[in-house]
Amino acid sequence: MNFESYMAKRFIKSKPYKNTVSSPIIKISILSIVIGIVMMIISISSSVGLQKTIESKVSSFFGHVSVSNFENNSSFSSINPLNSDFDYTLLNTNYSIKYFDKVAYKSALIIKNNSFEGVVLKGIEADFNWENFSNYITKGRVPSFEKNISNEVIISENLSKKLLINLDDKFKTTFFKSNSRSVPNERIFKVVGIYSSGLIEFDETYFFGDIRHIQKMNKWNNDEFGSVEIFLKKYSYTNDVSVDLYNQTSTETSVMSINEKFPEIFNWMSLFDFNVLLIIIIMILVGGINMITALLVTVLEKTTVIGILKTIGASNKSVRSIFLINGTYLIGLGLLIGNFIGIGLIFFQNLTGFIKLDPQTYYVSEFPFDFNFISLVILNLGVLFFCFLMLIIPSYIITRISPSSSIRTK
């Protein structure tokens, strides 16, 4: 242990030091670091958790990237099938793609108990991958599609409550044709499952059923689909895969990422990053200013000790190092306590879900926290670095203390 570290350790452990005028100021400074790091951990974890949860929910409905005919872009219904010359090997050979589903959409009207609701049927195949969406199924099971066209469907909890439709109930659905003079298509569906994703605007609109109903109403062949919804291994691949497919497909094919399909949701989510950055900057400034105050008060209180150290040959740099080490210790202590509290709150929330949110505003009913160890380490190192940096300039006040004027004889 060198001289500076030894003296800093003596300052920290000495009882007179703990009972001095600077003691409450030091405690307040440590408390500011504790509160600051807790706020930063909660802000980052909640922001990332909320973004991941919403992204996962939206992609569960529509995939990360969808490929369709251009004419289907501005409509809830699949008007024309995907171009027959679309090369599916583009999807099978892309490493970033986890799987894809062939689907079709058709708008309709559900009539039940003298009430009605505008909806959209999402037509799916028998081998539809329920991996992402199965987490949202609250009652019943997924539809079973046999050789014949199945009337089994899964509807949302929202529609179930609005129209008083429960499991095993049947309801009539009217599908209007593009030609207003044509007689609408009608289907009787049976509810075998109920889901709740928390995305109100989707839950009150979409229900899932056999794609062959849409193929028959649109007079398509069994190998024709409205669109292909692509699910990726990571959300971060979305833009790259979208651009690659756009460049490799014909001009009549539309390639759209969920960011482009729902810009209002993802633009709103991008504001979280700015808010978190603002919180981090404010908390570092508050913590740093408090540590500067603690350093200055400690220096003024220890002027006699500083004078003695200079008298016995300690350089200004050496004395400054003593106080900077002392300040770093206090910052580290605040970070340690703050991390313990912050991580504890994250695990408690993930375990109990005691903080509730309005799903109509935030798309989730409970505050989701995402814990990332690497991000936590980077955050702590960043706070320690910037707070230490803020202490360097004020520490130069030590160089202005003269040994002759600071040492007093009793």
177 or 181: which carries more pLDDT confidence? 177
Residue 153 has pLDDT above 90, yes or no: yes
pLDDT confidence bin for 65, thresholds 50/70/90: very high
Give me the chain's average pLDDT, please. Answer: 84
Q: Are residues 224 and 316 in the same domain?
A: no
Residue range 70-84: mean pLDDT, rounded: 71
Q: Are residues 358 and 388 in the same domain?
A: yes
Residue range 135-157: mean pLDDT, rounded: 89
pLDDT at 37: 92
pLDDT confidence bin for 56, thresholds 50/70/90: confident
Residue range 294-298: mean pLDDT, rounded: 80
Q: Are residues 214 and 341 in the same domain?
A: no
pLDDT at 20: 63
Lowest mean pLDDT among 72-76, 307-311, 333-337: 72-76
Percent over 70 (pLDDT), the chain = 90
Comparing CA positions, the residue from 30, 28, 45, 39 lying closest to residue 280 is: 39
Q: How far apart (Å, rounded) are the C-alpha atoms in residues 302 and 11?
A: 10
Report how many domains make up the chain.
Answer: 2
pLDDT confidence bin for 338, thresholds 50/70/90: very high
DSSP string, 200-226: HHHHTTEEEEEHHHHHHHTT--TT--S
Percent over 90 (pLDDT), the chain = 26
Residue range 341-358: mean pLDDT, rounded: 87
pLDDT confidence bin for 71, thresholds 50/70/90: low
Q: Are residues 140 and 222 in the same domain?
A: yes
Q: How far apart (Å, rounded) are the C-alpha atoms in residues 121 and 216?
A: 14
pLDDT digits 0-9 by tens, 14-33:
654 555 666 788 888 889 89
**Domain termination site, one of 228, 248, 265:** 265
Q: Are residues 304 and 376 in the same domain?
A: yes
Range of the domain at 391: 3-56+270-406
**Domain termination site, one of 217, 243, 265:** 265
Indicate yes or no: pTM above 0.75.
yes
Residue 229 has pLDDT above 80, yes or no: yes
- Residues 199 and 113: beta-carbon distance below 8 Å: no
How many other C-beta atoms are found inside a 10 Å radius of the C-beta of residue 17? 18
Lowest mean pLDDT among 77-91, 133-147, 222-236: 77-91
Q: Are residues 107 and 250 in the same domain?
A: yes
pLDDT at 404: 58
Q: Are residues 99 and 233 in the same domain?
A: yes
16 or 71: which carries more pLDDT confidence? 71
pLDDT at 19: 57
Comparing CA positions, the residue from 289, 300, 297 lying closest to residue 391 is: 289
Q: Are residues 203 and 239 in the same domain?
A: yes
Which of helix, strand or coil describes residue 364?
A: coil
Q: How far apart (Å, rounded) are the C-alpha atoms in residues 55 and 137?
A: 18
pLDDT at 248: 87
pLDDT at 16: 47
Q: How far apart (Å, rounded) are the C-alpha atoms in residues 26 and 3?
A: 23
**Domain termination site, one of 214, 235, 265:** 265
pLDDT digits 0-9 by tens, 235-256:
989 999 999 998 888 878 888 9
Q: Are residues 224 and 284 in the same domain?
A: no
- Report residue 213 as tokens: 């109903």
Q: Are residues 297 and 365 in the same domain?
A: yes
Residue 167 has pLDDT above 90, yes or no: yes
pLDDT at 97: 92
pLDDT at 341: 94
C-alpha pair distances (Å), 205 with each of 60, 155, 167, 199, 393: 15, 9, 18, 10, 60
Q: Are residues 301 and 342 in the same domain?
A: yes
Q: Are residues 46 and 140 in the same domain?
A: no
Q: Which residues, including other chains, have CB under 8 Å from residue 307's CB and lie 6 or more apart?
A: 401, 402, 403, 404, 405, 406, 407
Lowest mean pLDDT among 9-23, 61-75, 120-134, 291-305: 9-23
